[in-house]
């Protein structure tokens, strides 16, 4: 009886919130990575900002245009697996490197 109470009181809320379901991160983690990288990608392409993303076409919807996303889409969604999360992190790292390089070329004193 005490074991059942322990499971219900301590473990069940974690299961319901998804705490044990996503070892490598929740689906919102991948969405946050797409938004973070998408904002940089849109600005590098001279669009003001990211409005949304379209997983069915695997595109970023920037204000004023569309850009391809990294190949992380499956069907009409982005499954937040370890492989997808790693690909998004690698994409963001590349974008950050490009941004840093451009900033140092355009404004050496700003660094």
Query: Could you tell me the maximum CA-CA distance found in the chain, to the nearest angstrom?
Result: 68
Higher pLDDT: 1 or 34? It is 34
CA atoms within 13 A on the CB side of 108: 1
| Contacts by residues 65-70 (CB-CB < 8 Å, ≥ 24 positions apart) | 67/41, 67/42, 69/34, 69/38, 70/37
Mean pLDDT for all residues in the chain? 82
The string of DSSP codes covering 59-90 is EEEETTEEEEPPS--BTTB----HHHHHHHHH
Cβ–Cβ < 8 Å for 78, 59: no
Mean pLDDT of 10-19: 42
Mean pLDDT of 40-61: 97
**What's the pTM value of the predicted model, to 2 decimals?**
0.72
pLDDT per residue as tens digits for the range 5-14: 343 344 434 4
Question: Which residue's entry shows tokens 């005490």?
Answer: 2
In Å, what is the CA distance from 7 to each residue of 15, 78, 105? 10, 32, 58
């Amino acid at each position: 009886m005490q074991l059942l109470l322990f499971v219900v009181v301590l473990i069940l809320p974690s299961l319901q919130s998804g705490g044990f379901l996503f070892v490598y991160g929740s689906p919102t983690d991948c969405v946050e990575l797409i938004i973070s990288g998408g904002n940089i990608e849109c600005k590098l392409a001279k669009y003001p900002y990211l409005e949304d993303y379209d997983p069915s076409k695997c595109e970023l919807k920037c204000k004023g245009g569309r850009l391809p996303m990294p190949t992380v889409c499956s069907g009409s969604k982005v499954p937040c697996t370890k492989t997808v999360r790693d690909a998004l992190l690698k994409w963001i790292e590349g974008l950050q490197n490009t941004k840093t390089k451009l900033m140092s070329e355009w404004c050496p004193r700003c660094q």
